[in-house]
Amino acid sequence: MAGRLGVPLKLLLLLLLLTLDSSQALRICSFNVLSFGEAKIGNSRAMDVIVKVISRCDIMLLMEIKDSQNIICPTLTKMLNGKSRKGTKDYNCIISNRLGRKAYKEQYAFLYRENVVSVKKSYHYHDAQDGDEDVFSREPFVVWFHSPKTAVRDFVIIPLHTTPETSVREIDELFDVYMDVKRRWKPENFIFMGDFNAGCSYVPKKSWKDIRLRMDPKFVWLIADNVDTTVKESTKCAYDRIVVQGQKINSSIVPDSAKTFDFRKAYRLTEEEALRISDHFPVEFELQPGESFTNFVRSFVPQKKRGRKKSQRG
């Protein structure tokens, strides 16, 4: 009896471990939350959906934060960690300065699970190159993350929320940010993501040739031009994008993991209800777990026994 149960139990254990293996992947997300300020914080229904969306992710970039009172990060971390087990602190937050040319300001924020990733370094890109000053409406807030449990352990995220009318120039300028980060830190793996407004009339087909991040083949665009990242049924535009650079990170992406997350469908919202939260869907992708965990899982896979070769008599 014990011998008969051995194989099914081993297969059951294998399925469990494979499930754990997929759960060890690191999910990285980007979400432009429409006009995220005090009014939205006061909307309990909207905040409940936003927290649910963030809690799916190990790293979440939030954009369009309008927070002169500095309450977004504390509020979100409190809500997210309140849903965690007692005594644990899953999420932390790092947020940029208030960015913008005049009175109108926005911030970038990263919510991240402290038990899987940590922040090594960060800085605000200085948008003041000679002859090419002040290209960005909101200059990137560059963050270097360390992820000890994934195949690629160190990567830099460069966020961007463009002004629609200047999208082509701003996306192109990300190449200069890339070069600046390489000079400063010498990292090997890069992620560019955010609301690039990189679709429809803002970036017509004829303009792609003017964007270095697109024309250089070492930059891989994970969200394709035909993907609809907008909530409205009347629009179909690939505004939100994820771009990676680096051999290690490119080979560590979980196949077919780059996609939008339709929170409207997931949480059964009407279009009107969804638009109160955002007119954009989040975009996301996953990084594979590290070799140590993968090898541990593979060690449970039954190996085929090799039969002994029969000796041939002359």
Selected catalytic residue, list 106, 170, 173, 286: 106
In this structure, which long-range contacts are made by residues 248-253, counting pairs with CB atoms below 8 Å and at least 24 apart in sequence?
A: 248/151, 248/152, 248/188, 248/189, 249/152, 249/155, 249/189, 249/190, 249/191, 249/287, 250/220, 251/151, 252/150, 252/151, 252/152, 252/287, 252/288, 253/222, 253/285, 253/286, 253/287, 253/288
What are the tokens at 151?
Answer: 């195949």
161: annotated active-site residue: yes
146: annotated active-site residue: no
Selected catalytic residue, list 139, 161, 170, 173: 161
Encode 254-287: b = buried (16+ Cβ within 10 Å), e = exposed: beebbbbbebbeeeebeeeebeebbebbbbbbbb
Nearest to 60 by CA among 87, 13, 94: 94
How far apart (Å, rounded) are the C-alpha atoms in residues 266 and 49? Answer: 10
Residues that are catalytic: 106, 161
